Amino acid sequence: MGNLGFGELLIILFVLILLFGGKKIPDLAKSLGEGIRLFKKSMNEDDKDTSEKK
């Protein structure tokens, strides 16, 4: 039930382009990537802090 086929992905892409426009999508992807990178960095820093406290 959770598998997305090629047709479904095309429909999702088409809807995203309609909602945000072609120029806005790369900016959204960049912001999402930066957010994920910062989240991973903070998770790694938290792991280092807890291992140093032991």
Q: What is the pTM of this model?
A: 0.54
| Cα torsion 27, 28, 31, 32: sign | negative
| Domain count along the chain | 1
Does 8 map to a domain? no
Range of the domain at 28: 21-54
How do the pLDDT tens digits run along the chain, 54 residues long? 578 899 999 999 899 888 888 888 888 889 999 999 999 998 888 777 666 665
Contact 25, 17 (CB under 8 A): yes
